[in-house]
Chain A
Amino acid sequence: MEPSFSINPVSDVEQLLSYSFMVNALAAGSIVAVMAAVVGWLMVVRRESFAGHTLSVMSFPGAALAALVGWPLVWGYYLFCAGGAIAIAAGAGVLGRRDLAQESAATGTVQVAALALGFVFLSLYGGVLENLETLLFGSFLGISSGQVLTLAAVAVTVLACLALAGRPLLLASVDEVVARARGVPVRALSVAFLLMLGLSVAATAQITGSLLVFALLVAPAAAAQQLTARIGMGLALSVALGLAVTWLGLGCSYFTNWPVGFTITTLAFLVYVAARMVRLA
């Protein structure tokens, strides 16, 4: 059946939900959107967007290593995301105190080191990564029910950990000096957060590709922060925007046949621009 768009939204949604691959895509997209919105909100507060992007790029060396050694793809993702998180934390922490300029140099160096390794793995492997496009742009529409369950488990773990560490983590993110004085383990929390970021990125990247995961991390959270400085409100808004962008993006992609990566990133960008306009007005 060809996708046919009508003015009646109810029949459109019914049409979408009549395919099991669309149901799986919507379920996975929703889980990813919620997890990315929460983790991304903290990432934006902590000004670690560059680290987030670096971790989302780790899926390339991860996939190349997995191809070389013959592991399942996922293992490579998790290995490199965890390793990358630790390397970023180590590089940034050499000076003891947060120095954003040096931290960005360290993060960039970790990123290129991982990418260079990826090319070496690829060259040793000898073949071509057939799924290069999938790797970069994801395969939203080929998700199995098993993957949805795994994704849900990862999301629950990450959100539970963040909820447990929420208060001290937030204090350490907003005011490091005060947090240190109050005895909050700032360093340990920073490493733990990067690991959580890496875990959620690795889980998400299998489905959305390494490019889209970053859009879902940063854009809804950035838009939410333009609109409110309150914590609960900001988190809720970030999640709501993330879900809306994902659902609309999947729907648009289904009816127009444009790639999902394009529709979701464009909607996310428009939401951010709108939020900035609202703030200026």
Chain B
Amino acid sequence: MLAHEFIRNALLAGSCVALASGAIGYFVVLRGQVFAGDALSHVAFTGALAAAAAGWDLRVGLFLATVAVALGLAALGRREPADDTTIGVVFSWVLGLGVLFLYLYSSGSAGGEGAVAARTLFGSIFSLSRGEAWVAAGVGIGLLVALGAIARPLLFATLDPAVARVRGVPVRALGLAFLVLLGVDAGEATQAVGALLLLGLLAAPAGAAQRLTANPVLGMALSMTIALGSVWVGVTLSYAISALPPGSAIVGVAVGCYVLAALIGGRIRRGRRMRRGGAIPSRA
């Protein structure tokens, strides 16, 4: 299997995107921002279509759109739970813009819009070129380094924003920086697994990890491991079964891990409750 160039490219790009998404996803789930990740992955679609309509490189539009919307969400969204409504309103409009760009693009140059839409929406990990795979790997590693640099204060700001603010941690700036990282990740992952399936690497491994452990270091490591494992197993499965699209295989493995973790996590929690003599467990 490794003799094929496209499999090597897929594994290289997939592994780096998975590690970055697993680590970023941990914070995304912890901060309850899965919807923001979802929105950014759809925004990538509009960005790519806008670039196509203007005749630019798709990736320019993709990254510009995701980072711009990440900044916009950070500016509009308040700390309060109203956040998900803001995200919903902003991103439904951005999707509407996508419709306009699709229309402009298809009326400008005849045909071809289907191919662009399909490629950006569904991505294709098996059609990456050598260069694209290395770019994906570079972005993935860059994201990991950037996240590592802000991980400690970000964790503090996430778990207890009030105390963090008192201790002089720049909570708002960290939130903004994190959303930008998420935007870059969404842009990159869109090319690897497709905009629609990005969430599979962002939400499912991290959600699974958090059902199993409350320890942040262990949880993040677990989340990255599950994401990486999903890509490897998914790529292998998809190689073996030709009817199985790679994106679906990867997401399928990740979702399987999540369901398993939810079941095991529930059992662990019930076990603890029983040992405590039926007391209701207090969730920290």
Contact = CB atoms under 8 A, between A and B. Distances in A.
Given A101-B32, A105-B29, A264-B96, A116 B252 contact: yes
B200 interface: yes
A222 interface: yes
If over half of B's interface residues share one DSSP class (helix, strand or loop), that class is named, otherwise mixed; here it is helix
Interface stretch (B81-89, B132-140, B149-157, B175-183): B81-89
Contact of B266 (A44, A94, A101, A222): A94
Contacts of B38: 50, 53, 108, 111
Given A116-B251, A265-B92, A137 B202 contact: no
A50 B84 contact: yes
Contacts of A218: 85, 88-89, 92
30 contacts: A50-B38, A50-B84, A53-B38, A94-B262, A100-B32, A101-B210, A102-B29, A104-B33, A105-B204, A109-B204, A112-B200, A112-B255, A115-B196, A116-B200, A123-B245, A124-B243, A132-B117, A132-B118, A211-B92, A211-B95, A211-B98, A212-B96, A215-B92, A215-B93, A217-B88, A219-B92, A262-B97, A265-B96, A268-B89, A268-B92
A109 B205 CA distance: 9
Interface string B266-280: 100000000000000
A262 B100 contact: yes
Nearest to A130: B114
Given A104-B33, A106-B207, A259-B103, 12 more contacts: A105-B29, A105-B207, A105-B258, A108-B207, A112-B196, A112-B251, A119-B248, A133-B117, A211-B92, A265-B99, A266-B97, A268-B92
B255 A91 contact: no
Contacts of B200: 109, 112, 116
Contacts, number: 180
Closest 4 CB pairs of A and B: A265-B96, A105-B207, A108-B203, A269-B93
Of the listed residues B37, B243, B255, the one surrounded by the most CB atoms of chain A closer than 10 A to its CB is: B255
Contacts of B84: 47, 49-50
B95 A109 contact: no
Interface of B: 29-35, 37-38, 81, 84-90, 92-93, 95-100, 102-103, 114, 117-118, 122, 196-197, 199-200, 202-204, 206-207, 210-211, 243-245, 247-248, 251-252, 254-255, 258, 262, 265-266, 283
A99 to B, nearest CB: 8
A54 B85 CA distance: 14
B100 A258 contact: yes
A232 B58 CA distance: 47
A137 B99 contact: yes
A117 interface: yes
B99 A259 contact: yes
B39 to A, nearest CB: 8
Nearest to A56: B92
A225 interface: yes
